């Protein structure tokens, strides 16, 4: 169990990732799928942020310290990576929500199975109209 106490943040991040992935797979509702994707994103931020942490060191804001040494501050690189991740996640969420909005306007449902069935039916009808 000593191993678990050394890696609790990573294990939390990984479990959160799995929960988000399960939501993505199991839900038929498109909004819930997007929420699952966001949970997966959050897990990735947690994994990245915990990688930068070092016990006994502080965040890399220098303040009055004009001769910084690497032994005083935690790793700043994961912070930059998480920033990139957040921006991309926001953009992807907004884009997929907009697509969902359009789908709802067309098919009046958020259920992916129903949307697929309706679009299939529509396609068949169109093909029938062309052949006639």
Partner 1 sequence: MSEKHESHETSETEYKGSKNPFVAWVNADPTPEEAPWTEEKLEALRAGETYVREEKPVITEEERARRFNKVYKPLAVVLCCAFIALLVFVCLYTPPFGATDVPTNNEVSFKYIEDGLADTGATNVVAGMILDYRAFDTLGESSVLFTAVMSVMILLRKDRDGSLVNDPAEDAALAKEEKISVQHRDVILRTMAGIISPFVILFGIYVVLNGHISPGGGFSGGAIIGAGLILISQGFGSAKTKKFFNFKVFTIITSCSLLSYAALKCYSFYTGSHHIETGIPHGIPGAILSSGFILPLNIFVGLIVACTMFGFYSLFTKGEI
| Residues of the shown chain interacting with partner 1 in the complex, contacts defined by CB under 8 A | 3-4, 6-11, 14-15, 17-18, 21-22, 25-26, 50-55, 59-64, 66, 68-70, 72-73, 75-80, 83-84, 86-88, 90-92, 94-95, 97-99, 101-102, 105, 113, 120-121, 124-125, 128
Give the orientation angle of helix 30-52 with respect to helix 112-131, to 10 degrees: 130
Q: How far is the CB of 37 from partner 1 (least distance, A)?
A: 14
Q: How far apart are CA 50 and CA 96, in angstroms?
A: 29
Q: How far is the CB of 121 from partner 1 (least distance, A)?
A: 6
Cβ closest to partner 1, residue 26 vs residue 45 = 26
DSSP classification of residue 72: T
Please, are residues 73 and 60 in contact by the beta-carbon 8 Å criterion?
yes
Collapse the DSSP code of 41 into the 3-class scheme (helix H, G, I; strand E, B; otherwise coil) and give the result: helix
């Amino acid at each position: 169990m000593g191993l678990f106490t050394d890696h609790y943040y990573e294990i939390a991040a990984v479990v959160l990732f799995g929960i988000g992935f399960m939501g993505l797979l199991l839900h038929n509702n498109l909004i819930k799928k997007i929420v699952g994707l966001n949970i997966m994103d959050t897990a990735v931020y947690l994994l990245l942020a915990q990688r930068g942490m070092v016990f006994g060191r502080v965040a890399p804001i220098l303040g009055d310290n004009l001769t910084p040494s690497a032994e005083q501050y935690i790793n700043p690189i994961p912070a930059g990576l998480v920033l990139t991740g957040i921006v991309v996640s926001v953009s992807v969420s907004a884009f997929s929500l907009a697509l969902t909005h359009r789908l709802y306007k067309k098919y009046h449902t958020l259920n992916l199975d129903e949307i697929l069935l309706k679009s299939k039916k529509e396609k068949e009808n169109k093909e029938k109209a062309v052949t006639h």
